[in-house]
Every structure is written in C-alpha cells, then in structure tokens.
C-alpha cells in the first residue's frame, strides 16, 4: 500500500455515497494518474438504464473521453468493491497499471474472491493489485445500504 492510497480510496467512498443517495448500490471509483484524479464514477445502472454503468466503467469512460484515448496507461484505479468479471476485463483492455480496492466481494468478485480474471495467463496485460484498503469502511457502506433497503 502506498501513502496516497487511503486519500484516493476516501474519494472513491465519496463517489459511492453519491450513488447511494440516488438509490444505487454504493460502489465508487476514481482513476488517478500522476497523483491527479482523471476520472470519477459511481454505480448508476438503474438511473442510467445501462447495465454496464458500474463505478469502474463510468470512471474509465470519463478518463478515456478526457484523454481522447481508449488506453489509460500509467493509471491506478481505486474502487470501493472488488471488481466483477466485466470490470476486471475492462482493466485489462484499458491497460490500467494498478488496481486498489476496498472490500472483497465473496459472491462475485473476479480479482481474488472467485474468477481471478487478472491472474489468468492468457491475459495480454498484467494489472498490479492491492486489496483491503479501508475495507471495513467500504463494507459498512454496503451493509448499511442493504440493511436500510430491507427496512
């Protein structure tokens, strides 16, 4: 873990809270290059009517549009929840250098919990991974959201 990881994960948590305020599952992401946030996102598949509008996808789309490039080398993605298979593949195709995530996703996590997509030998790009950054805070955000929805 690097010193700035906590600060950037806090920014991802702030993004997750924006999604929660809209009734979306509270997952947030920020993409960083050279110490600067170049893309932000929170889950919004419900409000955008887009099943691919996961926090990671939204943040990377914003950064790619700003860079006018579909590749995002030399970047670190901070996300509050371990990515799913779609988003893990997105990291490879985008050439993200490093992934930092908060809470593990034991049911559908595709980085360490289940599919381990990024570790597959046929992937043509390697992503460095650090997990568990502010994991308890990230997990509590999700638990509170689902507890409140159940009433």
Q: Point out the annotated binding site.
A: 54, 84, 87
Annotated binding site for Zn(2+): 54, 84, 87
What b-and-e string marks burial along 47-73, b requiring 16 or more CB atoms within 10 Å of the CB? eeeeeebbbbbbbbbbbbeeeeeeebe
Determine which one of 56, 82, 105, 137 is catalytic. Answer: 56
Whether 56 is a known active-site residue: answer: yes
DSSP-H helix ranges across the chain: 4-21, 45-48, 55-67, 85-94, 135-150
Question: What region does 98 belong to: left with phi over 0, alpha with psi -120 to 50, or beta?
Answer: beta
From the list 23, 6, 22, 65, the residue with the least C-alpha distance to 40 is 65
From the list 24, 4, 27, 14, the residue with the least C-alpha distance to 98 is 4
Please give the positions annotated as active site. Answer: 56
């Amino acid at each position: 873990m690097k010193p700035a990881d906590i600060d950037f994960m806090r920014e991802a948590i702030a993004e997750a809270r924006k999604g929660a305020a809209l009734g979306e599952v509270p997952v947030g992401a920020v993409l960083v290059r050279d110490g600067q946030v170049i893309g932000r996102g929170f889950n919004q598949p419900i409000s955008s009517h887009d099943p691919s509008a996961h926090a990671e996808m939204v943040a990377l789309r914003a950064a790619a549009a700003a860079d006018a490039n579909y590749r995002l080398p030399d970047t670190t993605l901070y996300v509050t929840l371990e990515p799913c298979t779609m988003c893990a593949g997105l990291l490879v195709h985008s050439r993200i250098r490093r992934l930092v995530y908060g809470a593990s996703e034991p049911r559908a996590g595709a980085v360490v919990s289940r599919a381990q997509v990024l570790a597959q030998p046929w992937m043509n790009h390697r992503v460095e991974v650090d997990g568990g950054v502010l994991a308890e805070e990230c997990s509590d955000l999700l638990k509170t959201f689902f507890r409140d929805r159940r009433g």
